[in-house]
């Protein structure tokens, strides 16, 4: 194993114990600690940066990034539950909880243009640090019971089921890269170079839309993960057809990339 990789493994282990919570060592200090060249140290730290564990800024040194929350895709989920299960303390600063009308939200929910909606806007905190700005719209005729809820330390879907008898069980979610507005950057504590995801969700109970949600997520605090297994392949996956001759099956990928004409 190369020397830089050995140092990388050791730095990962030290990061996992919280040793560098207050301050990450400078290159000079790491050179002294490991008795290696500055180039070797920089290569190890460069890999830490690629893995999203640290951030380097010219003239400011290296700082430790907060541990991201891992969120599985392909299933309806509660951020509150996901965060708590991974050891984070999840809290919310409620910016708005009120009835409003909104043409776009009504259209997404299949409501009349002037039908009242419950609007809930939360700044979601993980271990006390801003991570998500969430905006949820729900038909008032279904969710008016939420207007008296203290959402500081509870989940929307938990309260929706408990107080309104509604349990979302289907829908869709879309994740896209976005450029946050200046106000969103300020609320989330985003640096100018920190990326963000835009998340849009329509949650339904049966065929009835019950929540349209849109929000901005710090990309340095979340990582979305898909998992698959035998028997759970997407319909577009070109699996071999049982009984088909070998010539009719998709060719196995070549061990070497093939040249592209004209490139």
Pair 59, 151 in one domain: no
Q: Give me the pLDDT at residue 210, please.
A: 97
Domains contained in the chain, number: 2
Q: Give me the pLDDT at residue 232, please.
A: 55
Pair 116, 221 in one domain: yes
Q: How far apart are the first and last CA of the chain?
A: 35
Render each residue's pLDDT in the chain as its tens digit; 263 residues. 889 999 999 998 888 777 887 889 999 999 999 999 999 999 999 888 877 678 877 777 888 776 666 556 665 566 767 777 777 788 999 999 999 999 999 999 999 999 999 999 999 998 888 989 999 999 999 999 999 999 999 999 999 999 999 999 999 989 899 999 999 999 999 887 788 999 999 999 999 999 999 999 988 777 777 666 666 555 554 555 555 554 444 444 444 444 333 44
User: Is residue 110 situated within a structural domain?
Assistant: yes
User: Is residue 80 situated within a structural domain?
Assistant: yes
Angle between helical axes of 3-16 and 27-34 (0-180°, round to 10): 110
User: Is residue 46 situated within a structural domain?
Assistant: yes
Burial of 162 (0-12, 13-18, 19+ CB in 10 A): middle
Distance CA 142, CA 150 (A): 18
For residue 174, what are the CA distances in angstroms to 3, 93, 112, 154?
42, 24, 24, 24
Q: pTM, whole model, 2 decimals?
A: 0.65
Q: What is the CATH number of the domain that holds 25?
A: 1.10.10.10
User: Is residue 179 situated within a structural domain?
Assistant: yes
Q: Give me the pLDDT at residue 236, please.
A: 53
Q: Is 52 helix (H, G, I), strand (E, B) or coil?
A: coil
Domain boundary among 48, 64, 80: 64
Q: Which domain holds residue 103?
A: 69-225
Residue-level length of the chain: 263
Three-state secondary structure readout of 144-163: HHHHHCCHHHCCHHHHHHHH
Pair 92, 213 in one domain: yes
Pair 11, 140 in one domain: no
User: Is residue 236 situated within a structural domain?
Assistant: no
Distance CA 53, CA 221 (A): 11
Pair 26, 110 in one domain: no
Pair 149, 182 in one domain: yes
Pair 97, 170 in one domain: yes
DSSP state of 107: H
């Amino acid at each position: 194993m190369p020397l830089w990789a050995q140092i990388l493994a050791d730095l990962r282990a030290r990061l996992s114990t919280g040793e560098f919570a207050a301050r990450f060592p400078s290159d000079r200090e790491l050179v002294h600690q490991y008795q290696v060249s500055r180039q070797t140290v920089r290569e190890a730290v460069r890999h830490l940066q690629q893995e999203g564990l640290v951030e380097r800024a010219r003239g400011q040194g290296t700082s430790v990034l907060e541990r991201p929350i891992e969120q599985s895709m392909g299933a309806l989920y509660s951020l509150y539950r996901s965060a708590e299960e991974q050891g984070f303390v999840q809290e919310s600063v409620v910016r708005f909880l009120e009835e409003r009308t909104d043409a776009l939200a009504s259209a997404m929910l299949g409501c009349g243009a002037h039908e009242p909606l419950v609007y809930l806007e939360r700044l979601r905190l993980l271990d006390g640090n801003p991570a998500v700005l969430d905006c949820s719209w729900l038909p008032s005729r279904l969710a008016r019971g939420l207007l008296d809820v203290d959402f500081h330390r509870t989940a929307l879907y938990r309260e929706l089921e408990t107080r309104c008898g509604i349990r979302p069980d289907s829908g869709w979610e879309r994740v896209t890269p976005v450029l946050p507005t200046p106000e969103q950057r300020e609320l989330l504590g985003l640096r100018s170079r920190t990326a963000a995801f835009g998340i849009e969700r329509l949650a339904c109970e049966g065929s009835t839309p019950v929540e349209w949600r849109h929000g901005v997520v710090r990309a340095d605090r979340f990582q979305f993960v898909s998992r698959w297994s035998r028997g759970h392949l997407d319909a577009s996956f070109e699996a071999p057809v049982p009984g088909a001759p070998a010539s009719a099956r998709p060719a196995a990928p070549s061990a070497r990339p093939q040249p592209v004409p004209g490139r």
